[in-house]
Structure formats: structure tokens, C-alpha cells
Structure 1
Amino acid sequence: MVEEAQLLGILKEYFGYDSFRPLQKKIVDAVFAGKDNLVIMPTGGGKSICYQLPAVLLPGVTLVVSPLIALMKDQVDGLTANGIPAAFLNSTQTETEQQEIFSKLQTNELKLLYVAPESLQYIDAVFSSGNISLIAVDEAHCISSWGHDFRPAYTQLGYLKNRFPSTPMIALTATADKATRKDICEQLNIPYAKKHIASFDRKNLSLEVRPGTKKFGQILSFLNQRPNESGIIYCLSRKNTEDLAVKLQNAGFNAAAYHAGIAHNERTSIQENFINDKTEIICATIAFGMGIDKSNVRWVIHYNLPKNLEGYYQEIGRAGRDGLPSSTLLFHSYADVVQLQKFAGNSGNAEVQLAKLDRMKQYSEALSCRRKILLSYFGELISEDCGNCDVCMNPPEFFDGTVIAQKALSTIYRLKGQEPVSVVIDVLRGSQNAVILEKGYQHVKTYGIANDISWRDWQQYIIQLINLGYVEIAFHDQNKLQLTAIAKNVLFENEKVRLADVNLAEVQKEVVEKEQKAAPDNLFERLRKLRLELAKEEEIPAYLIFNDAALKEMEKARPMTDDEFMQINGVGRQKMQNYGYRFIKEIIAFSKEKREKKKTSKGNTHKVTLELYKEGLGVEEISKKRGLATTTIYSHLAKLYDSGEDIDLHKFVSKADIEAVQKARVELDNPDALKPYYEHFQEAIDYWTIRLALTILDKES
């Protein structure tokens, strides 16, 4: 065993740290003891040091299997900069370059050699020399078909342990659930590896999820609040990365696209520009970022829903590696789910991948602390809400769901954790289908204990119990529901459980009483009052009409037509038909009152905007100074321009956009409305650019 003082000396000398992070010392000691290890440590948690530090002190070379050329280059560059002799072998090198590396290996000049799994066959000379002191398998989840990033080439790595049985092996990954961890050890032939699992809690990352409508406008707003910060936008398709990068460039942002279809040299250049802060924003497919140690990524946006929580967690982990507060934003839509279902259906283990996608969808629609959901997915259970996610910061209405939780947990317990969610619900509701009767579940004590709750509501409650960490899904075992360690607190220690959004009289009463106390002194309160009136008329809970988030969005957007009202998140066709007229009428009445007040108190609001424009202020500055939305200022400028004032709208609309709108005007069936243009351009041009372009075209014609 190496003395701690010597280890700390190496740590400081080569890596610049005065002390180890949690688990690092324990792992390093296990390596020097000749043991195999499985290391599960979040992105930025310091996995690399667990094999790089031992490599400095071990007599031979440490062989590192790594999946990406970009990752290898980044690691080797970092090691070389730290004074540690390292190299990588891959298909991009010339034969002369490879021979030079082989020569260095023969003379023991290298401490670490990085190699892709596909290239192992080319380094038989290294194996024959017998001077391999340690084998590290990085991104080890790639070996498992249960994992989120399965790579067939990794499955051949099991022979390494057979060939070097006495050489310690260390497998490392940032994300692996229970099934994946077990699979990694079995496939690498290290079934008795010591497991080191670090906390997955990245407290500095804020978590936010939004519906995927008007995404580009939301992204612009997000970025305008974070000027000059580095970030990554992950997209599902190559086309999305390119289109988004162009739109951001046109909006004045320093952005670039990155995907596997771009030539290798150009990809390398894009990556290095990002690492070196020459490019601020990368619009990328998931291939980007793995293993890149850029500490000052301040935000990560998912333009599309990821296919599973492992991938999502790993990708958001690329933000805030320096420990400073960083933001994550995820957009989700039904279209993404449909596309990902097709991908999963064509995979080798479709059932598992579809179940994991379903779990991802549940996360995006969750009504409980998102961090709790993420951590419980990886087997880490916390009792307190995080306070740093959108659900915690804008919590829904809750009720005491302890009895409901006890019924569900008791049923899972009595079914011995051997059934999926559908069977659990059927037992709770007393169903008499073939599965229940064949297995004799009609004799289970909790059979029919909760037939007063609908199947759909039960599904939502159980999803919440999974999200809260009381239940887990055994993806590797036919998606069976099983209790976690903290479920006993609810079953036997009377721990209270709060559930959200349930159609019970008590909740209706609670919501009604709360809303009665609110004074209608702004539009939000007036809409809440209207919602309460409708709820009483229909004898349903108020939140079933529209939730507070929808009302907040109405307050902000002020929709005054059916089309505009349909753009509000939470407004479907049926709700539009049932309630649209009453809400639009209220919004129009409120807006009219506000206009009258402004006329008497401020004079002509357009003239105020005109004076500020003449002073040289930009739209954002006028918006901030007047306390009005930028869309309102654009509206003022359009009307002022139309009425003959000296306004240069060309400052706000590019020539290309005007030409595109002009061309679309000829092609569209309904060229007098904005929405057809917006759909025609597939969100590439926002509403106000279209509006200004049409104003210019009308004036000039």
C-alpha cells in the first residue's frame, strides 16, 4: 500500500489538488491493493484521477479503453499538460505516428495509453510485452445493453481480464442504474469488483422543464438573461443542430453546430473553439461533450426529450463542473415521444428502452421535486425537496395522500415485487381479468381495496410514488414494481405522503377557499376568480379547468383570439370550446380598462416609445425602462412606422427574412394571419419578425 503522504504529493504535483474528493482515496487504495473496481461517479466528480494517479506510480503502463477520439485527445492533452507521459492510438493516426508510440511503450516512456475498443486488435505487441499494470474501462456503461449508450465493440472487452487475470481492472461511468452496474461487472469478468458509488446530487444545477412550444423564442429569452455564458443545446437530429445554430447566429449569438456528419477536422476545430471559449454555444447531438473537461459550461438546454434519464443526467452534468450555480432547461413534446418510441422499437432490447423512455416522460411531467426523481432513479434517496427545481419553486396543490400511498405500497409488498404497474392497479381496483384470476390475486388481502379511484388516477399516484423514491422499476426484470428501503417508513412508521392533483372533495374545498381569499386586483386574480365561478357551475375542482401556470401564461400573453388562446400551454381544443370565450372576454375587458387608465395617467403610450426610440434606445432598453414586454414595444414601433413616423424597421428584420415572408405571402392560403407563416417557417422565424416584415411589405407596396 502506498503511503498517504506520497499520494497527496502526487495529487498536488500532477493534478494541483491538496486533498482527495469523496471516494477518490478509497478507490486509489483499492487499485494499489490489486482489486477490481466499479466506480459510479457523476460528471465532474473526479473519476479520471482514480486511475490516472495510480498510473503515475505503477511500474508499467495503464491501458485506458475509451469510446471517443475526442475524449481521448482531451484526456491526453490534459495529462501531457500536467507532465504525465500519455498517448492515444486510433484510426486517424498515420503508421509512423503509431510506430512512434509503440517504441515509447517498449522503452517504458509512457504511463497511460488510451485506445478505442475497436483498436485493441492492433496493439497485441503491448499485450505481449506484459508490462500492463492497470486496465481502465472508461464510460463503462457502453458495454451494457441495459445502459443508455450501448456500443457493441465494448462487448469484446471481457477477454482482457481473462488474458491478464492478476492485473487490476477499474470500470468507470457517470451513470448506471442497478441493472447496468450488474451487467458491467459480469461482462468485464469482474463479478467481485468493489463498488464505489458517489452521490449523484449536483446541488448547483437548477432543473427546469417546459412544454416544447415556441421553443426558439423561449431559448432567446433564456440566453438574453445569460449573456456571454458558455452552454450546450442538445438536439435529437443533425438538421435541428444546424438550423438552430444558424438561427442563433442570425440573432447575434456566437453559436456552432456539432454532429457526426461534419468532417472530422471541422468537428475537432469546433470542439476546440468551444473548449477555448472562442465559441460560446454548441448546438449538438448527444455525441458532443462526453469526457470533455470544460468546467465553465453555465447551462445546458435539451431541445428535445432525451431517450432516458441516464443520458439526460449525464448531459446536464456537463454544466457547472466548477461547482458554481448553473442552469438546465428541458423541452418536452408529444412529437418527441412518438419519434423516440420508434427509435426504441427498433433497438435490440425494445421493451427496456420503451420503459426507460416512459420514465423519462414521467420525469418531464412530474409534480414532485425533480431532483428527488433523478436521485431515486440511481438508488439515492433523499427526504427533503431540493428547492432548486421548477416544481419546488412553483409547487402544485398538494393533499395528504398517505392512505393512498399505503394501499399501493402494501399491494406491491403482497405481490412480492413481482408485477408491473398494470397488474398492481388491477389488484387495487379489484379487476377480474385473466391475469388476476389465473394467478389467484383475487385472494390478496388488498384486492379491490381502492376501486373508488379510477385506473388513470391510480397510474398517476403510482408514478408520483416512484418519483418520490418509495417505489422503483426493475427495468432488467420485466419492469416489475419493487419497494425501496424508505417505503417501510410509510407502511410501518406512519410517514406522511403528499400527493398532487387529485380529484377529491377535500382538495376542491381547499382550492376554492384559497381562491376566495384572493382579491381580483390584477389579471391573474381576475382569471382565478372566473375559474372559481366556472368550477362552481360545473361542480369540479378549479384546477381541472386551468392550472395556475396556464393562468400566469394568459396574464403574460393576453390572448384575444381563439388562435392566440390555443397557444397557451394547457389549452386543448375541448377547453378552448368550453371556456375560451369567457376567458378571452375577461382578458379583453381587463386590457381595455388598463388602456383607459394608461391614457389618463401617461398620455399616448406609443408617443412615449417614440421619444425613447429617438433618444437612441434599443428595444430591450425601452422595454426595461417602460416596464413593458418587448413584444409590446415591437407593436408600438410597427404602428408608429405604419402611421408615417420616422422608424427604421429594417434594423429589426433582416433582408433575408423580409424576402422569405414575401415569398410565403404568395404561397399561403391565408396570408392575412400570422400563424400560417409561423407554421410555414417551422418556428424558424418568430411571430414578431413576421409581423414587422409584413408591416414593411405593406408600407413599401
Structure 2
Amino acid sequence: MQAALDILKRTFGFSAFRGVQADVVERVLAGQSTLGVMPTGAGKSLCYQLPSLMLEGTCIVVSPLIALMHDQLRSAEANGISAATLTSVDENRAETIQRLLAGDLDLLYVAPERASQPHFRDLLQQCRIALFAIDEAHCVSEWGHDFRPDYRLLAPMMEAFPDVPRLALTATADEHTRADILTQLGIPGEGLIVAGFDRPNIRYHIRPRDSLTRQIQQIIDAEPGPGIVYAPTRAATERLAETLGKSGRETRCYHAGLPPEVRAKNQHDFVASEDMVIVATVAFGMGIDKPDVRFVIHAGLPKSIEAYYQETGRAGRDGDPSVAHLFWGGDDFARARMRVAEVGQDRSTGERARLGALGALVETAGCRRAILLRHFGETPPETCGNCDNCLNPPKAVDATVTAQKYLSAVARTRQMYGAGYVESILTGQSTDRSRQNGHDSLSVFGIVDGEEAALLKPVSRALQVRGALLPTEHGGLMLGPEAKAYLKGEVPLDLVMPPRTARSRKRGVGGDATPNPVGDPLFEALRTLRRDLAKDAGVPPYVIFHDSTLRDMAEKKPGSLWQLGELPGIGAKKLDAYGEDFLGVIEQYS
């Protein structure tokens, strides 16, 4: 491992491993197959990149998306690693195969669709293979949230090389999924290394939707740096991107229905940007290895806790403070319940459990992070100090009686009308429509007033989360299977009332001072240099250096190549390629 530490410093610019990296690397170097479950930003790729420099032969990396492979290729090459991709869009495939056969590659990235083919296996038989690395390994499991059938066809390739160790890596796998990955990829149980799921640099905020565009705009106005807004539909991505872009912040959209060249350009420009906002469907993200995303916003309910964890995990991969906002509505849960009802019996139980877990997350008065971590089998502290509920505890209200009134009003108006109309009946608003329907003479007409009226919208959301209210095909509300228990008062309804939010000032992530000392002339000059070098090299700025490295330069002002090389994140190749340029800028401000 001393040799591994030497390479860690020389190639990657770090003097020590982080978290469980050392445990994973040690097993790989010993030829032992391993499953590493490590949170996003914990340095999973280093766990195969470093061994590829020490083992004889080529490391074959199976990765799910071409964009992700190309991102990882750029970062590997920037550190001086001999790497290549073999994909359908690469024009140098013949050259790559020659480099592979000649033993000139440390890393070869391929998609599972190619890796599972017999002709690729035959090609590997002509080479020296050092390691099989399976990235995003949760895709192999039908229990995972991103199941990819081709991942389950990788076994024959690996079985053809029984002496080559296997390294599977993922950030999102609960206990059931982990067991399935071990079985499918032929990794022994003792090879499981779980680093934990906590991302302490991400602050979680979850609120009901209320003027969604305004809510999102306030966040974008307050948070500098690149950000992702996840919208539930293609049309919503385009609509939101157009509206948000009017504020002056560069905003693009991304979804599978865009022309390929537009989609590729928007993704490329976002990866290269330092402040762009991209509004996307969840198809966007897994292929992005961008470390400096400062915020992720969900404009609707994600599919599961696992999906939420992975999607929010695209923020703050560089370890700097970041925020994750989720805006939800009762109709999100109502639609999800209808989708669950349409799936087969074998899947509906699991889908209902996933929906219940989401309901617990959005409605809790307790710590959001604790719920997330318990979902993945951990035993976290009761409070984290870095989520909305811990920072500003909500108020709990007993709304059992109000729920009975609401359900009674839905029933007495014959389960035909939407929430707005039901609320108008309960609060006694006499209109032509209510008089024509005869509803102003109902016993529920006007039975809610004063402070209780403010509970009606939260009660409607809560009843939809719990399955006591369901949408009709015409946009109305009808009683769901759980309604009877609430009507009879057999089940209480405790509401969590989030505190009012003050308009955020533009101070950086989460309202704290931004981790980038914006306004420091040296830091800004270093960023400008980085931007120019990245443009000349055709790579995103973070491939040159992360913001944390620039902050260290601005703070410590090294005066020699040796001093510069001692800063974290500056390996030998980057020091040789960029050292003099950055020292020149530092000297101007010293």
C-alpha cells in the first residue's frame, strides 16, 4: 500500500486515501473481488483508476452511458492515465483496439451492451486483463431503481477470465439490492464494503408546491454556481427553462425528445459552465460527472427514495456545500398510486412500499437526513443540523376533525369536484355554481372558518399522500381506500406545518457564505486562467482544477512549483502542464 500511496500523491495529488478507498484498493491489488457501496463524491473512480496504474494489463470499465465514459476519460487523461473509450460514437475505434492489443491502455471504458457480446469477449482473449470494474453496479439488479438488463449479461465475459478480480461500485443500493449485485456478479459476501450513505455537505429542503416557478426562481436567484432542476415531463422542462431564463441566468432544457444535436450541445455547455441552470427530466444526470453542481431542485416527486438520493447526489460531488430542494403536491402521490394500481401484482407491493417511504420523507417533522439514512440500513443521529427541519423545526397540528370535514364534503358533493370547489363549500363561499348544484344547503357548507380554513390545503395534500383521496379522470377528487378510517376518526391526521420562509439573500449555498471567495481578485484571476486553459484544451474547467484547489492557491499563495505541488489535487502531470501559468498569476497578486 505504500506504493499505492506514492502513486496517489504523484498522479492524483493527494497524500492520503479518503473513507474506505484504502480498503477497496487494497482488496483489488490483492486480486480479491469487491463490491464498494460509496456515496457520490467519495472517489469511486479512483478505486479502479489507481490500481490500473499498478496492475499488469488493462482494466475494463463497464459504464452505463457514453457521456459518463467521456467525462471519466477526460479526467483520467488529465491525470496522465492511458485511457480510451470504445463506443458507437467514437471514430477512433480501430486505433483504440490496436492500443488495447498492444497493451498500451491502463483503462478501457465500454458500455454493458458491448461488454456482453461474444465478439468483445473474443477480443479480450487476445489481451492481458488486469481488472473488471462495473460502475453504477445497481443497474444489474431488478431491485435497483435503474435496472439495465444488459448488466445481467456480463457474467460470461468475466467467467472467461476466472483469475481476474471484479470490482463493482455503486452509490445507491439498499440491503436487498446489494445482495442481488453480489449474486449476479459472482462476488463473495466478504467482499462487500459499505462506506455509508451520508452526504453531509448537502442541505435538504422539502416543501409543498405553492407558486412553483416563483419558488424555484427564488432559489436560483440566491444560489450561485451550476444547478439542475428536475421536472416531471418534457413539456414542463421546456416551459420552466423558458420562464426561468427570462431572469438573465443562462438556462437550458434537456429531455429525450430534443434533437440529438441540441441535447448534446446543451449537455456539453452545462458540463463546461460555471453558472448555468439546466432544466431536465431524470434522463439527465447519470451521465454527468460534474463535481461543482451547487444545487439540485425537484419540481415534482421522484420515483423512490433511491432515485431521490441518487438525483440529489449529483450536487456537491466536490465536497463543497450544496443544497437539494424538493417541491411536492398531493396530486403527485395520487398519480403515483394510480400508476401502482396498473402494475402487476408482483411489483405493486414493492411500489407501494416505495411510495410510503417517500410519503414519510416529505411529511416528517423530524430530520430528513435521518430518514434517508435509515432507509439504507444505517442508524444515524436523531438530528443532522443541516436539513430544513433541523434548522427551523416545523409545527405539528392535529387535523383529524378537519380531515373528517373534508372527506365528508367530497362525499356529499358526489366525488365529482376538485379541491378548490370542495374548499369553497367548506368555507361557505356561495357562488352561482354552488347554488345551481344545491350545495349551499349541504350540512358541510360553511363548517370551516377562521384559522381552520388555512388547514384545508395541507389536509387535502395529506389525505392524497395517505390514499384517502384519489383523483378522478376529470380532475375531481374521490374517496380512496383509506378514507373510511379517517372519516370514522379511527386514524388521526397529524399535519406538519412548515414555517414561513424568508426570501433568501444571494449569499451562496444554503444561505451561508459561498465556499468560493467571490470578490477575492486573486481567486477570480485564477478562475479566469482556468477557464481559458480549459477552453484551449477542450475540457470543462473542473478537469483542470477543482474550486477547492483554486481556493488553496488563493489562500496559501505558493511561490514555487514544489510548493504548488504540495497542494491537494495537483498531480505531477497537471503540475507540469499548468504549474507555471498559475504561479505567474499568483505572483501578480503577491
TM-score (norm 1): 0.56
Question: Which residue number corresponds to residue 251 of structure 1?
Answer: 247
- Give how far 1:204 is off: 1.8
Q: Does 1:308 align with 2:304?
A: yes
User: Distance in 1 between the 2:386 and 2:402 partners?
Assistant: 27
* Aligned amino acid, residue 106 of structure 1: L
**8 Å Cα contact 2:270/2:276 also seen in 1:** yes
Question: Which residue number corresponds to residue 100 of structure 2?
Answer: 105
Deviation string, structure 1 residues 12-39 (Cα, Å, up to 9, x no partner): 2222212100110111000011111111
**Superposed, which structure 2 residues align to 1:112-131 within 5 Å?**
112-120=107-115, 121=117, 122-131=119-128
User: Distance in 2 between the 1:581 and 1:363 partners?
Assistant: 30
* Aligned amino acid, residue 184 of structure 2: Q
C-alpha RMSD over aligned residues:
2.9
Q: Secondary structure at the match of 1:159?
A: helix
- Give how far 1:332 is off: 1.1
**Superposed, which structure 2 residues align to 1:198-237 within 5 Å?**
198-226=195-223, 228-237=224-233
**8 Å Cα contact 2:138/2:172 also seen in 1:** yes
User: Distance in 2 between the 1:365 and 1:582 partners?
Assistant: 21
Question: Which residue number corresponds to residue 356 of structure 2?
Answer: 358
Deviation string, structure 1 residues 586-640 (Cα, Å, up to 9, x no partner): xxxxxxxxxxxxxxxxxxxxxxxxxxxxxxxxxxxxx99xxxxxxxxxxxxxxxx
Question: Which residue number corresponds to residue 578 of structure 1?
Answer: 447
User: Distance in 2 between the 1:232 and 1:298 partners?
Assistant: 9
Residue from 170, 174, 192 that aligns with 1:173: 170
* Aligned amino acid, residue 32 of structure 2: K
Q: Secondary structure at the match of 1:578?
A: coil
Question: Which residue number corresponds to residue 393 of structure 1?
Answer: 391
Q: Does 1:140 align with 2:152?
A: no
**8 Å Cα contact 2:101/2:127 also seen in 1:** no
Question: Which residue number corresponds to residue 376 of structure 2?
Answer: 378
The 3 A distance-change label for structure 1 pair 542 and 261 is: closer
- Give how far 1:581 is off: 5.6
Deviation string, structure 1 residues 440-499 (Cα, Å, up to 9, x no partner): xxxxxxxxxxxxxxxxxxxxxxxxxxxxxxxxxxxxxxxxxxxxxxxxxxxxxxxxxxxx
Residue from 323, 329, 342 that aligns with 2:325: 329
Question: Which residue number corresponds to residue 66 of structure 1?
Answer: 63
User: Distance in 2 between the 1:356 and 1:182 partners?
Assistant: 19
Q: Secondary structure at the match of 2:278?
A: strand
Q: Does 1:269 align with 2:244?
A: no
Question: Which residue number corresponds to residue 24 of structure 2?
Answer: 27
**8 Å Cα contact 1:36/1:192 also seen in 2:** no
* Aligned amino acid, residue 49 of structure 1: L
User: Distance in 2 between the 1:370 and 1:6 partners?
Assistant: 41
* Aligned amino acid, residue 352 of structure 1: G
Q: Secondary structure at the match of 2:154?
A: helix
- Farther-moved stretch of structure 1 (350-359 vs 56-65): 350-359
**Superposed, which structure 2 residues align to 1:397-416 within 5 Å?**
none
* Aligned amino acid, residue 66 of structure 1: S
User: Distance in 2 between the 1:275 and 1:371 partners?
Assistant: 28
User: Distance in 2 between the 1:267 and 1:193 partners?
Assistant: 43
**8 Å Cα contact 1:146/1:352 also seen in 2:** no
- Give how far 1:238 is off: 1.5
User: Distance in 2 between the 1:388 and 1:136 partners?
Assistant: 34
Q: Structure 2: which 5+ runs fail to align? A: 407-418, 429-445, 455-503, 506-590
User: Distance in 1 between the 2:423 and 2:161 partners?
Assistant: 62
User: Distance in 1 between the 2:190 and 2:260 partners?
Assistant: 37
Deviation string, structure 1 residues 208-233 (Cα, Å, up to 9, x no partner): 1111231111111222222x421100
User: Distance in 2 between the 1:75 and 1:135 partners?
Assistant: 16
Q: Give the helix-richer structure, 1 or 2.
A: 1
Aligned residues: 422
TM-score (norm 2): 0.67
Question: Which residue number corresponds to residue 658 of structure 1?
Answer: none
Q: Does 1:158 align with 2:155?
A: yes
Deviation string, structure 1 residues 540-569 (Cα, Å, up to 9, x no partner): 9999999xxxxxxxxxxxxxxxxxxx98xx
The 3 A distance-change label for structure 1 pair 196 and 76 is: same
**8 Å Cα contact 2:68/2:289 also seen in 1:** no
- Farther-moved stretch of structure 1 (45-54 vs 261-270): 261-270
Identical-residue share of aligned pairs (%) = 43
Q: Secondary structure at the match of 2:125?
A: helix
Q: Secondary structure at the match of 2:35?
A: strand
Q: Secondary structure at the match of 1:92?
A: coil
Residue from 187, 194, 197 that aligns with 2:194: 197
The 3 A distance-change label for structure 1 pair 187 and 501 is: farther
The 3 A distance-change label for structure 1 pair 163 and 583 is: closer
- Give how far 1:198 is off: 1.1
Deviation string, structure 1 residues 378-404 (Cα, Å, up to 9, x no partner): 11112331122222233245xxxxxxx
Relative contact order, higher structure (CA 8 A, sep 6+): 2
User: Distance in 2 between the 1:98 and 1:169 partners?
Assistant: 25
The 3 A distance-change label for structure 1 pair 342 and 131 is: farther
Q: Structure 1: which 5+ runs fail to align? A: 398-499, 504-539, 547-565, 586-622, 625-701
